[in-house]
Amino acid sequence: MKLTLHVWRQKDRNDSGRMETYPADDVSPDMSFLEMLDVVNEGLIKQGKDPIAFDHDCREGICGSCAMMINGIPHGPERGTTACQLHMRKFRDGEEIYVEPWRAKAFPVVRDLVTDRSAFDRIIQAGGFVSVNTGGAPDGNAIPVPKESQEKAMDAAACIGCGACAAACKNASAMLFVAAKVSHLGNLPQGQAERRDRVLAMIARHDREGFGHCTNQYECEAACPKEIGVRFIARLNRDYIKGALKVVNRRETGASDAAG
């Protein structure tokens, strides 16, 4: 296959950036999108030019690193697929392909296609954990988990924190990411004690990081490589309302914080 790539090049955060065009010849349809970029980079290095910087780690669709817009779609045109798992056979011979970094103010460009996604780490630090007393490790099966709860938690836990949901949203809202993390823990018995406080803390951090509000566009669900559904956002909203009411109740009556 012969392709023409239009790639966003940006030296650092302060550079204004620009699109540059590169030919990609001898592309095998069996290559992944990242392997194709590796080949283009080898050619650039041979010409004494800077290779295109892009993030990657597992190349198996599980780490969430390979963040890039391909023809205006996060992770490219194949639904439920990360950029590293996207194969060149999904494109036509002779096609022009546009490759850009994530589009969201909260994910500033570090270089070329690499963005700083540490805002997601800070959202997790705000509440995406379960606190346990230290001591003897409990048996793995000491807390039975109903099958339905297990399955819902596992569906939410499929989120790889890639950021495609925010990159796809016109509001740059990362609500699907937060909803997945909140639902993962909130569906398990171990996650109940901090359930209401967790959602308030994570949403507050989400807003502080500069992500926008959800206005039910559903672009996040369409772009998510793990096909996390917007039903998790509905669940998050219910938890958020209960959490906010708990805070009001606490202020007005001095009531205890028992989860409910």
Residues at the interface with ligand SF4 (CB under 6 A): 159-165, 176-177, 180, 223-226, 228
What's the 3-state SS for 149-206? HHHHHHHHHCCCCCCHHHHHCCCCCCHHHHHHHHHHHHCCHHHCCCHHHHHHHHHHHH
Q: How far apart are the first and last CA of the chain?
A: 59
Interacting partner of 180 out of ligand SF4, ligand FES, none (Cβ under 5 to 8 A depending on kind): ligand SF4
Report the SS3 class of residue 126.
Answer: helix
Does 1 engage in binding with ligand FES (CB under 6 A)?
Answer: no
Pick what 165 binds: ligand SF4, ligand FES, none; C-beta below 5 to 8 Å, kind-dependent. Answer: ligand SF4
22 binds, among ligand FES, ligand SF4, none (CB under 5 to 8 A by kind): none
Smallest separation, CB 224 to ligand FES (Å): 13
Strand 3-9 to strand 96-100: parallel, antiparallel, or no bridges (unpaired)?
Answer: parallel
| 62 touching ligand FES, by CB under 6 A | yes
Q: Is 32 in the site for ligand FES (CB under 6 A)?
A: no
Which of the listed partners (ligand SF4, ligand FES, none) does 84 bind, with a CB threshold of 5 to 8 Å by partner kind?
Answer: ligand FES
Report d(CA 173, CA 213) in Å as an integer: 5
Cβ proximity of 201 and 162 under 8 Å: no
Any bridge partners for residue 7, and if so which?
A: 20, 99
State the binding partner of 62 from ligand SF4, ligand FES, none, CB within 5 to 8 A by kind. Answer: ligand FES
Locate 230 and state its tokens: 């917007």
Residue 177's binding partner among ligand FES, ligand SF4, none (Cβ under 5 to 8 angstroms by kind) is ligand SF4
Residue with Cβ nearer ligand SF4 (22 or 107): 107
Cβ-count burial of 176 within 10 angstroms (0-12 exposed, 13-18 middle, 19+ buried)? buried
Site for ligand FES in 71-90 (CB under 6 A): 82, 84
Nearest to 166 by CA among 236, 224, 124: 224
| β strands within 135-209, DSSP E | none
- What is the nearest approach in angstroms of ligand FES to the Cβ of residue 33? 9
Residue bearing tokens 């065009």: 21
Q: Which is nearer to ligand SF4, 163 or 243 (CB)?
A: 163
Position 61 contacts ligand FES (CB under 6 A)? yes
Least distance CB 154 / ligand FES (angstroms): 18
Q: Which residues contact 229 (CB under 8 A, 6 or more apart)?
A: 155, 221
Pairing of strands 69-70, 18-24: unpaired
Least Å distance, CB 139 to ligand SF4, is 31
Does 66 sit near ligand FES (CB under 6 A)?
yes
In the complex with ligand SF4, the residue whose CB is nearer, 128 or 161, is: 161
Binding footprint of ligand FES on the chain (CB under 6 A): 56-59, 61-66, 82, 84
